Structure 1
Amino acid sequence: MIEKDTMSSGILRRFVRDERGVGAIEFAILFPVLLMLYLGAFELTVGLNVSKRASRAAGSIADIVSQQSSVTKSVLATMPSVAGAIFAPYGTTGTTLKITGIAIDATGKATVAWSWAQDGTAPYSSGTTITVPANMNQASTFLVRSELSLPYQLISFGANFLPSGTNQITISRQYYYRQRVGNSISCSDC
């Protein structure tokens, strides 16, 4: 009996001192956490890149229009392709774009001179008073405002971790540019 006890306690001591599977157990515990950190960092990087492209697209569109002395609906209708070129390789499905000409009179009152939306409508009525940023509200000037909105679908590898309805966000940007040529930018058919 003593021999059996000694033998089983020897096996038990060897089992306690054996460290061959410790690395595998530690990896199994840490792997899900490390995977979620990696995928989260990937999602954040892609989202920030899309956000930066939205800013660049809205600014570029306002800049292009502000360099014109007059525009038409057909010229403004080419602006979504400018946004598409900036967003490449990301898709622009669901993007909405609005461009507005804003006249500021001698008293500093800003009104809509013309407006155009990607769907071909005029989102703001001409003559409507509008608020502009204080640093842009300079008497007897003309502004071009571009508004770009893009639905962004989160990749969300851990869909069960997010509350329902939170797998899509809307990235919106708005830019104001002063006219570059003349005192205003006209749109004959807006």
Structure 2
Amino acid sequence: MSPIEIVCRAAREWALLIRRLMRDDNGIAGIEMAIIMPVLLLLFCGGGEIALYARSHFQASQMASTVADAVSRYETLTASDVASIFTVTSEIMGTDDFGKNGYVILSSVSRTGGATSIVAWQCKGGALPNTSKIGIVNKAATLPGNLTLDATDNVIVAEVFYRHTPIFSNFISIEPQLYETAVFRPRLGSLTSAPGC
């Protein structure tokens, strides 16, 4: 047999094999599943991660609001009151890891006749020390949303820092540090004197 005949015979056998495979539909579902499964897994993992991140954002926002609201209900605030509020932060946040991945800063901001708002006092609690974005004690305050206070006005600001740990960090890139604030006006007193925390 000549080399040309060998090549022609091999080509005919390949053509018969390809025709037979094209008519045989066994295994098509498996091939389709193998092609689409990575895309489905990526969508499932990414969607789950985005949902967990949104939940953490919501919980941090709720926690800031709850803590600021609780503090604003006091007539006078003591260090033990602040400590008891800080001890329930994990329950407020709804996660057990807030103790090691979260930080709360309570600030009293007042404008006692001056032109600028001043941070009267701050209390901090948590395992991840962060710097307040509101300001430091006895210095000018930067309130969220460009809020300006009237003369002799006072507000309580709660800042919540939370380090979100992604489950599927390889699939989606998200900001791990969450930051939420809430501002409440004290109901029963001015709360401008430091509670000693």
- TM-score under structure 2 length normalisation: 0.78
**Unaligned ranges ≥5, structure 2:** 1-8
Aligned match of 2:6: none
Q: In structure 2, what is the Cα distance between the partners aligned to 1:118 and 1:151?
A: 15
State whether residues 69 and 186 of structure 1, in contact with CA within 8 Å, keep that contact through their aligned partners in structure 2: no
Work out whether 1:111 is the aligned partner of 2:111.
no
Work out whether 1:84 is the aligned partner of 2:95.
no
TM-aligned CA deviation for residue 185 of structure 1: 4.4
CA offset digits 1:31-69 (Å, max 9, x no partner): 011011001111111111111000000111011111111
Question: Once superposed, which parts of structure 1, at least 4 consecutive aligned residues long, lie more than 6 Å away?
Answer: none
Which of 133, 146, 155 is equivalent to 1:143? 155
User: Which letter maps to 2:177?
Assistant: T
Which of 70, 77, 81 is equivalent to 1:75? 81
Q: In structure 2, what is the Cα distance between the partners aligned to 1:143 and 1:13?
A: 79
Q: In structure 2, what is the Cα distance between the partners aligned to 1:118 and 1:97?
A: 5
Q: Percent identity?
A: 23
Aligned match of 2:59: 53
Work out whether 1:170 is the aligned partner of 2:162.
no
Aligned match of 2:139: 128
TM-aligned CA deviation for residue 107 of structure 1: 4.4
RMSD: 3.0
Q: In structure 2, what is the Cα distance between the partners aligned to 1:108 and 1:117?
A: 27
Which of 34, 37, 59 is equivalent to 2:43? 37
Which of 152, 156, 166 is equivalent to 2:168? 156
- Written as runs of structure 1 = structure 2, the 5 A alignment for 1:16-31 is 16-31=22-37
Structure 2 SS opposite 1:128: coil
Structure with greater proportional strand content: 1
- TM-score under structure 1 length normalisation: 0.80
